[in-house]
Chain A
């Protein structure tokens, strides 16, 4: 079925730096609008991807780095598939968990946002055998 053949929506490779994230958000927002996502969905997805990039900067690279983050977005029918890969030492996915929101404190919200916005979130083994690969899926609405 042609409509389920993956279609690349966006591919970006950028240094793991906070100052890069606005450019990533702007490019992503533009492509999401082109896919027919509602304004609310666009905003939610942009937030989730931004937070996933921040997690890579903070927890995988342990701070800003000139090493790369790669974002790839594919459309598969009515779903968008996002993959984020990095070249950092492998993290333990079991330690990347949303925290209890009843405990009101400053940090730890990013992973919660990702889980709330995305329909599927999973860490996979990168084909290169090194780094980390986060795959997220969100239905277009």
Chain B
């Protein structure tokens, strides 16, 4: 799994690539919670994620809940079919805010 964090219009955009599995989800969790800790709205780009398991999904849920506690926005972006299927199995596809792409020029997009 690889990841990158960038700033875009005052938000943090976290991109993951590859497999977010039991071996790598602790890193994903740390990256996501670190972004929330910075007090910014977070967009998680999952377009490059070829596989995600329950531990990866748990990292997303934990960061989502941490964001809510801080009154911040947390959204998933460009969720590919593989990741979306797992979110559907977990019935989280209706819990997360999911955007097809990054909202352009819309800081309140999440």
Contacts and interface: CB of A to CB of B under 8 A. Distances in A.
Interface in B49-95: 51, 53-55, 57-59, 61-62, 65, 82, 85-86, 89-92, 95
B54 to A, nearest CB: 4
Contact residue range for chain B?
A: 20 to 34
Contact of B53 (A44, A54, A106): A54
B23 interface: yes
Interface string A95-110: 0000001001111111
B61 A106 contact: yes
B22 interface: yes
B58 A18 contact: no
Contact of A110 (B51, B54, B82): B54
Contact residue range for chain A?
A: 20 to 34
Contact of B59 (A21, A106, A116): A106
Given A104-B95, A109-B57, A109-B58, A50 B21 contact: yes
A46 B89 CA distance: 14
A18 B22 CA distance: 6
Contacts of A110: 53-54
A124 interface: no
Contacts of B61: 104-106
Contacts of B55: 54
B85 A43 contact: yes
A136 to B, nearest CB: 15
B89 A50 contact: no
A9 B97 CA distance: 40
A76 interface: no
B51 A54 contact: no
B90 A109 contact: yes
B62 A21 contact: no
A59 B89 CA distance: 22
Contact of B58 (A25, A40, A101, A106): A106
A57 interface: yes
B51 A113 contact: no
Interface of A: 18-19, 21-22, 25, 40, 43-44, 46-47, 50-51, 54, 57, 101, 104-110, 112-113, 116-117
13 contacts: A19-B23, A21-B22, A21-B23, A43-B82, A44-B85, A51-B54, A104-B61, A108-B54, A109-B58, A109-B90, A110-B54, A113-B90, A117-B89
